[in-house]
Each structure stands twice: as structure tokens, then as C-alpha cells.
Amino acid sequence: MVVAQGGINKLRENVDTLLVIPNEKLLSISEKSLTLCDAFELADSVLKDTICGISNIVYNCGNINIDYNDVKTTLENKGKGHFGIGTVEHDGAIIEAVKQAVNCPLLETDIAGAENILINTSGQICLKDLDDALNYIRELAGEEVNIIWGTVSEEESDKIVVSLFATGMPEKEVRHTALGEHMDNPNRNNIAPKRDDTEVIQIPPFLKRHSIR
């Protein structure tokens, strides 16, 4: 736990927005037969979806576009962050997709007290449903939240997709558990995992604090 929290504290000093996936979440949502590698892939999928979500928002043309400055406003120097994706069939209510995005099962965060929320929607959406969804977000986050919204109308799409980024939530005291604490292995402290230099994950430049200027 000390090592995990120490790593989080160091990351917090060098990134604009930090997403934390506690090991407890992996244990609570996974099947007993889930392998360690599969569990890590689940965690990696959140990072992948986040990067793809940012890229799609910036580069895709829509009816109401979200640009790089909107992303910068939402993510720069904001500390703890929340990201989620929700998907429903084209005849479903967008608010159900929003609820999925708000309640990401692998994250410990919620959007209560968020300063900024960036939300991008795609698919054919009813205006009244959209208004209800935005009001729902405001109810959860608070009246002072700054909501940046964009949309892409994909006439041929059979789904409604919502990507949601929230930042600026108040910090809460959370205990982060190292994965080894869940393993009944008396010699676990003597196990030193090896990693080849080629396996070190490179942080994309645009996610580093000093690259967003």
C-alpha cells in the first residue's frame, strides 16, 4: 500500500490529470477464473479508452465540435479525474448511456463536486433526452460545474455513445492496496518483478503537464 500510494503521489506531481484504478476494483468485478494478465488488460483498457476518447473528440468533426482548448480547459492542472464511456442502442435513452459513463466500474471516482465536465455524444439523439441527460449530470456534479458539450450526428450509427471526462473533484482519503496484499504468500516481499527496458510504458507527450501550454 505504501509503495502504491507513493507512486500515485509522484505521478500527481508530474501530470495534469490522474486516473487511479484500485486493485480492489479488479478483484470485485472480475470472475474467479480471471488471470493476472487479463486483469491487467482490463486496467489498460481504461487508459486506452481514455486516450482514444480524447483523440476522437479533438479530431472528429461534429455538429457541435469540442476542440483542443476545451480539452485543455478540462484536463490541465486538474488533479484527480474521472472518465467513462456509455453505449445504448439507437432507440434507447441517452441518460442510460450517461449513467454508464458516470459509474465506471474500474474507477473509484464519482463526479460529485467536479469543476469541469467534458461530454461528447454520437448518434441520433432526441433533444428532450439530451436536456434531461445534461440536467442529470448537473444534479450529480453541482450547479457550479462547467459543462462542455459536443456532439457528432452519425445517421447510419445504430448506437448512441457518450464519452465523459470529469475533473476538479474534491480529494478524498482513499487507501490504495498493493496487489500483493491480497496474496497469501509469506515470501511475497522477496519477489522482485523483472521488467525489460523495452516494456516501460511511455506517457504520450500530450498527457504530460508541461506539454499542454
Cβ burial 76-101 (10 Å sphere, 16+ → b, else e) = eebebbbbbbbebeeeebbbbbbbbb
Cα 174 to Cα 80: distance, rounded to the nearest angstrom = 12
pLDDT at 115: 94
Q: pTM of this prediction?
A: 0.71
**Mean per-residue pLDDT for 83-109?**
88
- Cell (9 digits) for 191: 519477489
Element (H, E) at 175: none
| 66 against 208, higher pLDDT | 66
pLDDT at residue 182 greater than cutoff 70: no
**Mean per-residue pLDDT for 76-105?**
88
Cβ burial 41-67 (10 Å sphere, 16+ → b, else e) = ebeeebeeebeebbebbeeeebeeebe
pLDDT at residue 66 greater than cutoff 80: yes
Between the alpha carbon of residue 141 and those of residues 42, 68, 72, 117, 146, the distances in Å are 27, 23, 20, 9, 9
pLDDT at 28: 76
Query: Which architecture, in CATH terms, is 2-187+198-211?
Result: 2-Layer Sandwich (3.30)
Phi, psi of 83 (to 5 degrees): -140, 140
Per DSSP, 42 falls in state H
| 208 against 52, higher pLDDT | 52
pLDDT at residue 22 greater than cutoff 50: yes
The domain locations on the chain are: 2-187+198-211
**E strands within the chain?**
17-18, 79-89, 116-122, 146-152, 159-167
Beta bridge partners of 161: 87, 122
Cα 163 to Cα 123: distance, rounded to the nearest angstrom = 12
In the chain, % of residues over pLDDT 90: 27
